[in-house]
Amino acid sequence: MTQKTINNTIEKFHKLSIQVSLNGLSFCIWDSIGNIIIASENIIFQKELTPYAVQKELKTICEKHNIANKKFADIIVIHRNNLFSIVPKSLFDENELANYLKFNTKILANDHVVFDELENFEMCNVYVPFVNINNYIFELFGSFIYKHSATVMVESLMNNYSGSKNTTCFVHITETQMELTIMEHKKLLLYNSYEYVTKEDFMYYLLFTLEQLKMDTEKVVLKLFGAIQKNDDIYNLCSQYVKDVSLFNPSDSSFNFELDDSELETIDFTVLSSL
């Protein structure tokens, strides 16, 4: 009885972060007292799944790590998809959510459209979450917080890495997706996400974006992070077209987890940043 009480008390300081997409899943459990990651896993699907197939994969992970039987101080679910649009708060109307998406995103009449408010940045992110995933998590734990990955990405980079005087282009890379966050003098110039197949696709989207913003590839600072290593194909191709290219390691200054670099690299940036 005493041991059970101690364990339950400890679990009250544990935080759970789950990220879901049609291309993969990731999660981590953080002990906020010991400041360590207790458990984590990152899974990339061989092909894009349906939302309900993703739910089955999530159930498997929860059973594997006995997540459903644990107690958490905070639970956050991060939805990663291309069904989003960041809107300046001066133009935002909560009654017009679908209209912000219909011009650049294919949505259905019965899609549930919601929004995140980006605190301190006068912006809102309008998006379509995976409703079945939210329902599943609610069945397991009750109330929880959910956000879009773009919200977490922009808030984290703006809060922690926007102090540079140079225009900086952060590119978060997964096996199939690239997320561009471009900042200048503590202002967000652009956030967008593209799906790519080849390194040439990647380079096209990057150069096209910089061109549209009239940015000089000799002056912009390009920071790559996620599923990339120095001197791999994408890194080397970027180096041919952009003068200042480097790998970005958020763990250098943002996080204080008792993990070595190889362990940190297996946990998605937005999963860590949401804790």
Q: What is the pLDDT of residue 206?
A: 97
- Domain of residue 119: give its range: 84-126
Report if residue 244 sits inside a domain.
yes
Report if residue 24 sits inside a domain.
no
Examine the domain organization and report whether 160 and 241 are in the same domain.
Answer: yes
Confidence check: pLDDT of 30 > 60: yes
HEC sequence for 72-88: CCEEEEEECCCCEEEEE
Q: What is the pLDDT of residue 165?
A: 78
Q: What is the pLDDT of residue 214?
A: 94
Report if residue 186 sits inside a domain.
yes
Q: How many whole angstroms separate alpha carbon 100 and alpha carbon 187?
A: 22
CB contact at 8 A, 126 and 148: no
Examine the domain organization and report whether 194 and 248 are in the same domain.
Answer: yes
Examine the domain organization and report whether 109 and 159 are in the same domain.
Answer: no
Report if residue 139 sits inside a domain.
no
What is the number of domains present in the chain? 2
pLDDT tens sequence across 258-274: 444 444 445 677 766 67
Domain boundary, last residue among 109, 126, 143? 126
Give the torsion through C-alpha atoms of 149, 84, 51, 40, to 10 deg.
0
Q: How many whole angstroms separate alpha carbon 88 and alpha carbon 92?
A: 6
Q: How many whole angstroms separate alpha carbon 13 and alpha carbon 68?
A: 16
Of 61-65, 105-109, 259-263, where does mean pLDDT reach its minimum?
259-263
- Cα-only R_g, the chain: 19
Examine the domain organization and report whether 168 and 244 are in the same domain.
Answer: yes
Report if residue 5 sits inside a domain.
no
Q: How many whole angstroms separate alpha carbon 35 and alpha carbon 22?
A: 30
Q: What is the pLDDT of residue 240?
A: 96
Examine the domain organization and report whether 162 and 225 are in the same domain.
Answer: yes
Report if residue 10 sits inside a domain.
no
Predicted confidence band at 251 (pLDDT cuts at 50, 70, 90)?
Answer: low
Q: What is the pLDDT of residue 166?
A: 85
Report if residue 189 sits inside a domain.
yes
Examine the domain organization and report whether 221 and 161 are in the same domain.
Answer: yes
Q: Which amino acid is at 116?
A: D
Which residue from 258, 193, 263, 184 is spatially nearest to 221, judged by alpha carbons?
184
pLDDT tens sequence across 75-87: 999 999 999 999 9
Q: What is the CATH number of the domain that holds 199?
A: 3.30.420.260
What pTM, to 2 d.p., does this model score?
0.86
Confidence check: pLDDT of 3 > 50: no
Examine the domain organization and report whether 116 and 188 are in the same domain.
Answer: no
Confidence check: pLDDT of 5 > 60: no
- Provide the percentage of residues in the chain whose pLDDT is more than 70: 87
Examine the domain organization and report whether 167 and 237 are in the same domain.
Answer: yes
Q: What is the pLDDT of residue 11?
A: 62
Examine the domain organization and report whether 236 and 174 are in the same domain.
Answer: yes
Report if residue 260 sits inside a domain.
no
Mean of pLDDT over the chain? 86
Confidence check: pLDDT of 105 > 60: yes
Q: What is the pLDDT of residue 12?
A: 67
pLDDT tens sequence across 122-146: 999 999 999 999 999 999 999 999 9
Examine the domain organization and report whether 163 and 248 are in the same domain.
Answer: yes
